[in-house]
């Protein structure tokens, strides 16, 4: 039997009060895994099982063919992440996990913005693009595509600036991160 409780009704407040401890900040988890089928599912599954919502996820190769790196960002204000890192360590295919300290980490993401722009607006958009050190990668008579690299905050700031022009669509990679200094991430 699970916990069937009693016939007394449970209030929503009581439900919410039963949550566990949160760190209250954004976390970047850098996870080295064996490059094998199904490993991403195992990692993602651990988050899903605890009801955690992953904010961003990026997976890529490393300098070793047998090893891939998964970078996950999630909000410690919403989820207690200590338990989940311990559980991640238990996965046989997980080699190493680091919960990166934000001040000791360089994190970047790549974003592509497709903006509705006719002749009159193009110049102003390109000016904003220059301020954000973006790159124009495609132009048509009615649209422009801009590539931005930077921190999440920078990408979001650019989005706020160009949205009024008519944002057709936006693609973001999610952050990858590397530890500052000589040591390995």
Partner 1 sequence: MRAVEAVMECLKAEGVEVVFGLPGGANIPTYDALYDGGIRHILVRHEAGGGHAAEGYAKATGKVGVSLGTSGPGATNLVTPIMDAMMDSVPVVFITGQVKTELLGTDGFQEADVIGITMPAVKHSIMIQHPNEIPRALHEAFHIARTGRPGPVVVDIPTDLSRVDIPYEPITDVHLPGYQTFTEGNAKQIRQAAKALAAARRPVIYGGGGIINSNAAAEFTEFCRTDRFPVTCTLMGLGAYPAPDPQWLGMLGMHGTRAANYAMDEADLICCIGARFDDRITGKLSEFAPRAKFIHVDVDPAEISKNIPAHIPIVGDAKNVLVKLIAEYRALDTEAHRLDEWWQRIDGWQKQYPIEKSFTDSEDTEIKPQRLIQAVYEATGGDAIITSDVGQHQMWTAQHYPFKAPRQWINSGGLGTMGFGLPAAMGAAIGCPDKTVVCITGDGSFQMNTQELATCAQEGIPVKVIISNNGYLGMVRQWQELFWEKRYSNVDLGRFPDFVKLAEAYGCHGVRLTDKTTLVDDLKAAIATPGPVVVDVSVTREENTYPMISPGAAARDMVG
Which residue's CB is nearer to partner 1, number 38 or number 119? 38
Binding mask 105-144 for partner 1 (x = CB under 8 A): ----------------------------------------
Least separation in angstroms between residue 25's CB and partner 1 is 20
Listing DSSP states for the chain in one string gives ------SSPPPHHHHHHT------SEEEEEEEEE--TTHHHHHHHHHHHTTPPPSEEEEEE-SSTTEEEEEEEEETTT---HHHHHHHHTSTTEEEEEEE-GGGEEEEEEEEEEEE--HHHHHHHHHHHHHTT-EEEEE-SSEEEEEEEE-HHHHHHHHHHHHHHHEEEEEE---EEEESSSS--
Per CB under 8 A, does 177 bind partner 1? Answer: no
Q: Which of residues 9-68 bind partner 1 (CB under 8 A)?
A: 33-34, 37-38, 41-42, 45, 49
Q: Could you tell me how many residues of this chain bind partner 1 (CB under 8 A)?
A: 24
Which residue's CB is nearer to partner 1, number 87 or number 149? 87
Least separation in angstroms between residue 32's CB and partner 1 is 9
| Chain residues in the site for partner 1 (CB under 8 A) | 1, 3-7, 33-34, 37-38, 41-42, 45, 49, 83, 86-87, 89-95
């Amino acid at each position: 039997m699970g916990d069937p409780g009693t016939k007394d009704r449970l209030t929503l407040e009581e439900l919410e009060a039963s949550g566990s401890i949160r760190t209250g900040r954004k976390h970047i988890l850098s996870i080295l895994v064996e490059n094998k089928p199904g490993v991403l599912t195992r990692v993602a599954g651990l988050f899903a099982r605890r009801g955690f919502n992953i904010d961003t996820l990026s997976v890529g190769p490393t300098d070793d063919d047998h090893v891939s790196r998964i970078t996950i960002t999630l909000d410690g204000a919403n989820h207690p992440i200590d338990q989940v890192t311990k559980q991640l360590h238990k996965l046989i295919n997980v080699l190493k996990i680091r919960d990166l300290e934000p001040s000791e980490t360089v994190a970047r993401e790549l974003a592509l913005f497709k903006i509705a722009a006719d002749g009159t607006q193009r110049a102003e958009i390109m000016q904003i693009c220059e301020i954000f050190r973006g790159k124009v990668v495609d132009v048509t008579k009615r649209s422009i595509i801009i590539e931005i690299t930077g921190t999440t905050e920078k990408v979001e700031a650019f989005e706020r600036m160009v949205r009024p022009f008519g944002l057709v669509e936006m693609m973001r990679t999610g952050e990858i991160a590397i530890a500052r200094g000589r040591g390995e991430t």
